[in-house]
């Protein structure tokens, strides 16, 4: 299923991901040239470096000194946007509504354990749609950056928009994700006792 637009940046990464990084749209979070989310922006290197340090990306070793074919090597991570189409200006509310079916289908197909919305719009959407929290005030990304929020089947860790990072934001995110990865963040139950045999049967 693909959107009805001339240019779009599709989801990218591991279809069996534990982590799903969710951005806004290509006009804000990049990828128009490479076709890979979160690339081609002035802040992209710093963002990638933080996720490499956190263990969500792998370091790309390019001995040729030029650009690699795949600018990101993910590690159990998937990347996508709320609005995958490249907009002509700012997307309308109707356009976001139309793109929602693609995003939701992708999110549920990947079924990552941890959702990492990037920026205020993605964070607001994920918190409203995939947690039990009703946010009545403006999203405070400085307060939410790197914080763990329990969702409806997911753990949510919001990320402040990388274009707005100040000193310490990268380290705060890395520390939060490294701490999370050291725990049993996979919200699974072993129902093996209800089926024949001795193998575990893990479900979300």
> How many CA atoms within 13 Å lie on the side-chain side of 38?
32
Query: What's the pTM value of the predicted model, to 2 decimals?
Result: 0.86
Q: Is residue 4 part of a domain?
A: no
* Other C-beta atoms lying within 10 Å of the C-beta of residue 138: 8
Q: Is residue 7 part of a domain?
A: no
Q: Is residue 2 part of a domain?
A: no
User: What pLDDT shows up at residue 201?
Assistant: 42
User: What pLDDT shows up at residue 36?
Assistant: 95
User: What pLDDT shows up at residue 157?
Assistant: 97
Query: Per-10-residue mean pLDDT for the chain, 204 residues long?
Result: 86 95 97 95 96 91 51 90 93 94 95 96 93 73 94 91 98 97 68 52 44
Angle (CA) 112-115-120 rounded to 5° is: 155
Q: Is residue 81 part of a domain?
A: yes
User: What pLDDT shows up at residue 197?
Assistant: 59
**Which residue reads 């700012």 in tokens?**
90
- Report the CATH number at residue 187: 3.40.470.10
Q: Is residue 5 part of a domain?
A: no
Q: Is residue 27 part of a domain?
A: yes
φ, ψ for residue 24, nearest 5 deg = -90, -85
Q: Is residue 183 part of a domain?
A: yes
User: What pLDDT shows up at residue 49?
Assistant: 95
105 is in which domain, residue-wise? Answer: 12-203
Q: Is residue 6 part of a domain?
A: no
Question: How many domains does the structure of the chain reveal?
Answer: 1
């Amino acid at each position: 299923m693909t959107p009805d637009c001339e240019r779009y940046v599709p989801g990218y990464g591991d279809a069996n991901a534990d982590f799903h990084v969710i951005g806004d749209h290509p006009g804000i979070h990049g990828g128009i040239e490479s076709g890979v989310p979160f690339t081609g922006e002035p802040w992209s290197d710093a963002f990638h470096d933080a996720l490499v340090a956190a263990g969500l990306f792998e370091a790309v070793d390019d001995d040729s000194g030029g650009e690699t074919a795949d600018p990101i090597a993910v590690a159990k991570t998937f990347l996508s946007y709320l609005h995958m189409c490249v907009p002509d200006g700012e997307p309308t509310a109707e356009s976001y509504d139309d793109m929602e079916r693609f995003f939701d289908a992708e999110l549920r197909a990947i079924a990552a354990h941890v959702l990492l919305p990037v920026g205020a719009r993605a964070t607001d959407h994920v918190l409203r749609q995939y947690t039990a929290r009703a946010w009545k005030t403006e999203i405070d990304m400085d307060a939410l950056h790197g914080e763990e929020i329990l969702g409806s089947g997911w753990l949510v860790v919001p990320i402040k928009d990388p274009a707005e990072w100040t000193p310490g934001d990268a380290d705060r995110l890395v520390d939060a994700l490294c701490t999370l990865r050291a725990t049993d963040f996979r919200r699974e139950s072993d129902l093996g006792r209800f089926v024949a045999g001795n193998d575990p049967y893990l479900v979300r």
